[in-house]
Structure 1
Amino acid sequence: MSLRIKAVVDKFVEELKEALEADMHDREMKEREMQTYIEEREREVAEREAAWKAELSRREAEIARQEARLKMEKENLEKEKSVLMGTASNQDNQDGALEITVSGEKYRCLRFAKAKK
C-alpha cells in the first residue's frame, strides 16, 4: 500500500510540477507580449513627438521668415514714404511759391492745380 501511496504522491508531484512549469511559461510569454506592446507604443509616441517637433520647428522658421519679410517691407515703405513725401515748407516768398525738398533736391512750385481723377 505504501508503494501505491508513493506512486500517487509522485504522480501528483509530477503533475503539480508540470502545471507550475506551464503557468510559469504562460506568465513569461505574457510578460514578453506586454514588453513588446510597451516598446511598440513607446516607439509610436516617440515618432509622433518627433513629427510634432519637426512641424513646430517648420512653423517657427516660417514665422521668422515672414517677420523678416514684413520688417523689410516696412523699412522699404518708410524709405518710399520719405522719398515720396519729402519735406514741404511754405515759403513767404514774394511769388508765394511752395518749396518742396525730395531726397535732398529742392523744387519750387509756383502754381497748384487740383489732381484729376
Structure 2
Amino acid sequence: MSLRVKAVVEKFVKELKEALDADIRDRMMKEREMQSYLQEREREVAEREAAWKAELSRREAELARQEAKLKMEKENLDKEKSVLMGTASSQDYLDGALEITVNGEKYRCLRFSKAKK
C-alpha cells in the first residue's frame, strides 16, 4: 500500500509542478504582452507630443511673423498719415489763417473755398 500512496503522491507532485510551470509561463507571457502594450502606448503618446510641439512652434513662428508685419504696416500707416494728413493748428492768428504742417513743412492758408463736385 505504501507504494501505491507513494505513486499517488508522486503523480500529485508532478501534476502540481506542471500546473505551476504552466501558470508561470502564462504570467510571463502576460507580463511581456503588458510591457509591449505599454511601450506601444508610450510611443504613441511621444509621437502625439512631438506633433503637438511642432504645431505649437509653427504657430508661434507664424504669430511672430504676423506681429512683425503688423508693426511694419502700422509704422507705414503712421508715416503716410504724417505725409498726407499733416497737422493743423488752431486759428490763433489775427488774420484768421490756418496753419498746416505737412511732412515737417508749415503752410498757412488764408482763405478756404468748397471743392467743386
TM-score by length of 1: 0.82
Secondary structure class of the residue paired with 1:101: strand
Paired position in structure 1 for 2:44: 44
Aligned-residue sequence identity (percent) comes to 83
The root-mean-square deviation of aligned C-alpha atoms, in Å, is 2.2
Paired position in structure 2 for 1:84: 84
How far does the alpha carbon of each residue in 1:32-53 deviate from its partner, in whole angstroms, 9 at most, with x for none? Answer: 1011111111111111111111
d(CA) in 1 for partners of 2:49, 2:87 = 57
What stretches of structure 2 of length at least 5 have no aligned partner?
none
TM-score by length of 2: 0.82
What stretches of structure 1 of length at least 5 have no aligned partner?
none
The Cα shift of 1:112 comes to 3.2
Over 3 Å counting, the alpha-carbon distance change for 1:78 and 1:7 in structure 2 is same
Shifted more, 102-111 versus 50-59: the winner is 102-111
Aligned pair 1:70/2:35, yes or no?
Answer: no
Aligned pair 1:114/2:117, yes or no?
Answer: no
In structure 1, what residue type is equivalent to 2:28?
A: E
The Cα shift of 1:61 comes to 1.4
d(CA) in 1 for partners of 2:116, 2:49 = 62
State how 1:4-15 maps to structure 2 within 5 Å: 4-15=4-15
Paired position in structure 2 for 1:26: 26
Over 3 Å counting, the alpha-carbon distance change for 1:47 and 1:107 in structure 2 is same
The count of residues paired between Structure 1 and Structure 2 equals 116
In structure 1, what residue type is equivalent to 2:56?
A: L
The Cα shift of 1:107 comes to 4.1
d(CA) in 1 for partners of 2:87, 2:4 = 123
